[in-house]
Amino acid sequence: MDKYDYDEVRIGMLGNVDAGKSTIIGVLTNGILDDGRGSARKNIMRYPHEIECGQTSSVVQHHIRCGDKLVTLTDMAGHEKYFRTTVNGIKRCFVEFAGLVIGANKGIGLDKTETSSVRGKRVYANMTKEHISLINALNLPSFIVMTKIDMVDKVLLKNAIESVKIHYRKFKQQRKVIVIRTKEDLDIIKIYYDAGNWHMPVPLFLVSSVRGDNIDILNLYINEFIKPINSYVNKRNDPVKFVIDAKYRVEGVGRVVSGIITSGTIQATVGNKSQDLYIGPVKGKFYPVKVGTIHNNYRELVPVLKAGQTGCLQLKSKNKDIKLIDNNIIKKGCIITESPNLVSNFKAEVKIFISHHTTIALNTQTVINCDGISQSAKIKSITDINTSIKTMNSTIDENVLRGG
């Protein structure tokens, strides 16, 4: 394996607003504890308004080098109004693992209809349950980081852990929450992972970003236990497909795009030798481009980018008559490929969360998040309906989808 043949693992960090997602990411990526006033999150937040209010409103990726592996932690928004941004970020960043962050001072909370032996039952209207449903719907392997354990006593911590276990028992998916208190507890998780069972165990880590409790155990788990679920090695000889997730205008360099290459291999232009690549769809067409220089996520100049890796490409238009690269018309979700293909109709499998009182019928228009694409679409036909909800009416409308 050469130095350009490394693996990447992409982890999406989800959780309710104020759970401590940005703070724990700042601690993991910078190796510096928080001061209790948000110093760790200030180092990684992108916009001034995020630093001011302490809440993430965008999708931001942060990277950790672990030997011959690169770990990407994607900070997701936790506020309800940014839920669509979170869904788009999971698909656009090709997240393979989900890290659910829960504050020990709140836990998940219980619905009014739920009863338990947990003392001091609490009810919270938060996004944690929504994120758990999303993780299950996308069938993502996951782990839980319970933060702020320095703020609660043993009773409240026990209640928070119990609220998590109670909520997970409601799902049909066979997922088992396993509390990790010592490095030896990770041996249980290793047994599942070695058997190829990435979904059953849900390790729960009890950490403090201020005191540093169990941060070393969480680091050990991320660095040594989590591995790429989808292998891209056998796709490196396939036609190129590079999905754009961001675009930049760099002074003295020109147009630069970042993203992930899901198949094939892209090589930097050497002299007059360049690959035959196309970018699009832009206004319903693909246009020829060539890649100038390539940088990885550590701003290092590299000659090649292989399937499964992320990086930045300097783009130049092959057709001098078309100022495609100079104009601001390249969108997130556009692709760079060797074999362009335009599609306007497709089949999709749709799952509606049980908790949602949603009705979807013919001609319903919705936003589709597919890989890097975020695009409005209209439902033209509905077939093969399966429901998990028992309704008063035994007949099912063939052209309507409801919760469950």
Per-residue pLDDT of 75-105, as tens digits, reads: 988 888 888 888 888 988 899 999 999 999 8
Higher pLDDT, 239 or 297: 239
Answer for the pair 73, 95: CB distance below 8 angstroms, yes or no. Answer: no
Query: How does residue 39 score in pLDDT terms, banded at 50, 70 and 90?
Result: confident
Higher pLDDT, 398 or 242: 242
Give the C-alpha separation, 273 to 290, whole Å: 10
DSSP 301-356: EESEEETT-EEEEEEEES-TT--TTTSS---TT-EEESS----S---------TT-
Query: How does residue 141 score in pLDDT terms, banded at 50, 70 and 90?
Result: very high
Q: Could you tell me where the beta strands, DSSP code E, fall in 56-141? A: 60-66, 69-75, 97-103
Torsion angles phi and psi, residue 351, rounded to 5? -120, 130
- Please check the confidence at residue 392 and state whether its pLDDT lies above 60: no
Per-residue pLDDT of 42-79, as tens digits, reads: 887 877 777 777 777 778 888 888 877 889 999 988 88
Most confident of 192-196, 323-327, 384-388: 192-196
- Please check the confidence at residue 117 and state whether its pLDDT lies above 50: no
Q: What is the DSSP letter of 108?
A: S
Give the C-alpha separation, 334 to 280, whole Å: 5
Residue keyed to tokens 């609490």 = 122
